[in-house]
Amino acid sequence: MIKESVKVVKYDKDKEKIKSDSKEMVYLDKEAVDMEQYGFDEFFQKKWSEIYNEKWIDELNKKSELESNIVPARVVSDHGQMLKVISPYGELMVKRPITHQLLDQQVAAGDWLAIKYSVEMEDASIEHVLARKTKFSRAAAGIEVKEQIVAANVDVIFLIQSLNKDFNMRRLERYLIASWESGAIPVIVLTKSDLCDDIDRKVTEVEVTAPGVDIFSVSNLTGEGIDTLRQFVTRGKTVALLGSSGVGKSTLVNRLAGQELLKTQAIREDDSKGRHTTTHRELVLLPNGGIILDTPGMRTLSLWEAEDGMEKLYGDIESLIRSCRFTDCKHNNEPGCAVQKGLKNGQIDEQKWINWNKLQKEMRFLNAKKRSKLRAAEKQSYKRQSKASVFSKIDQF
């Protein structure tokens, strides 16, 4: 697998030498993959130079001062023990980090790595995981709450719902909160406009739920509205897709690409049942520039530390809460409750208040789980400490 994808020659006089005093003479083929189009921009250059004291320079002849075979690579997809990456050498498979310092480090699709490529071994290994621009996380399933990074370094997230069957404002709120948490910019895309005859009403509903967020209604069938999305899909920018099965994520990517990059599968429109048809390549380059990151983890989403997002979405409610007379106000019948007053005079929407309460409950649950995990960790370290002090006492004798 590695063999066929690697474009490396060991020694070739026609090609420029990268490092003359290096034992391993490494030359990149002239057709080396351009890392910038995969999103290796100023931000990652900076992270790179923080580690290697120098920028990564794509032009091969300027590379003389760099460790010749340490190159940036971006994770294309996750294959359990192995990660598929795109590097200047082409696509490579690398093992997940196993060294002690990197063991605890999560690596997700979209991550930028520094990899060491050995020509002799035809083997690549991870040296560093570069600091992330953004990270999309979710709470991993299980008793213990664990942050699971499902996509890294995403610039824009298309929050996709279809205008016919999948339309759900509660879900959209969750998408929005998770997107803001990630650090990426959310953009709402409503698909299947060809199957909807009250688009305006639905768009208005979305505007109320997501004030200030760009909303686009598109049809992947007729192509209507697709061009308005192109402003977000530009060279070096990474766009991730968030949306239920069958809303038209793959079809949208193919539309934007102008060719079939992702496989799609017909679904039964009568019950909106879709099947997971996306093939296992999570990061794809669009022919006209722009990168699409489409990870399975973003399909099933639960909240992970949503505080920041809450502030943006429910800022009006939260500022009212702060002006309640009692700081421990339950907002039921307490005198001087600003929330009840706001509900009565229409300052806040009743549905929004109900949603806010639901989200609070979810977050309380999540926080409680996190706290209990923290306590367990504290116990562990206490145990270790007391063991250590026993040993230090023994040492004194």
Ligand X SMILES: Nc1nc2c(ncn2[C@@H]2O[C@H](COP(=O)(O)OP(=O)(O)OP(=O)(O)O)[C@@H](O)[C@H]2O)c(=O)[nH]1
If binding is defined by CB under 5 A, does position 317 make contact with Zn ion? no
Q: Are 265 and 257 in contact (CB under 8 A)?
A: no
Dihedral of CA atoms 192, 195, 201, 202 in degrees, nearest 10, equals -40
Give the separation between CA 136 and CA 240, rounded to whole angstroms: 10
- Closest residue to bound ligand X by CB: 248
If binding is defined by CB under 5 A, does position 71 make contact with Zn ion? no
Select the span of 86-94, 166-174, 193-201, 316-324 touching Zn ion (CB under 5 A).
316-324
Give the separation between CA 387 and CA 382, rounded to whole angstroms: 9
If binding is defined by CB under 6 A, does position 300 make contact with ligand X? no
If binding is defined by CB under 6 A, does position 272 make contact with ligand X? no
Give the separation between CA 252 and CA 159, rounded to whole angstroms: 12
CA-nearest of 253, 245, 362 to 299 is: 245
User: Which burial class, exposed, middle or buried, applies to 321 when counting CB atoms under 10 A from its CB (0-12, 13-18, 19+)?
Assistant: middle
Give the separation between CA 102 and CA 125, rounded to whole angstroms: 12
Residues that constitute the known binding site:
191-194, 243-251, 324, 329, 331, 337
Give the separation between CA 291 and CA 381, rounded to whole angstroms: 43
* Residue 110 vs 243, nearer CB to ligand X: 243
If binding is defined by CB under 6 A, does position 161 make contact with ligand X? no
If binding is defined by CB under 5 A, does position 348 make contact with Zn ion? no
Query: Quick one: which H or E segment has residue 293?
Result: strand 291-293
User: Which burial class, exposed, middle or buried, applies to 273 when counting CB atoms under 10 A from its CB (0-12, 13-18, 19+)?
Assistant: exposed
If binding is defined by CB under 6 A, does position 266 make contact with ligand X? yes
If binding is defined by CB under 6 A, does position 249 make contact with ligand X? yes
If binding is defined by CB under 6 A, does position 45 make contact with ligand X? no
Q: Minimum Å distance from CB 263 to ligand X?
A: 8
If binding is defined by CB under 6 A, does position 278 make contact with ligand X? yes
Select the span of 81-89, 249-257, 282-290, 326-334 touching Zn ion (CB under 5 A).
326-334
If binding is defined by CB under 5 A, does position 324 make contact with Zn ion? yes
Judged by beta carbon distances under 5 to 8 A according to partner kind, the member of Zn ion, ligand X, none in contact with residue 221 is ligand X
Q: What is the CA radius of gyration of the chain?
A: 25
If binding is defined by CB under 6 A, does position 389 make contact with ligand X? no
**The two three-digit tokens of residue 224, written as one number:** 């209507």
* Among the listed residues 88, 97, 186, 248, the single contact to ligand X using CB under 6 A: 248
Residues making contact with ligand X (CB under 6 A): 191-192, 194-195, 219-221, 243, 245-251, 264-267, 274-278
Residues making contact with Zn ion (CB under 5 A): 324, 329, 331, 337, 339
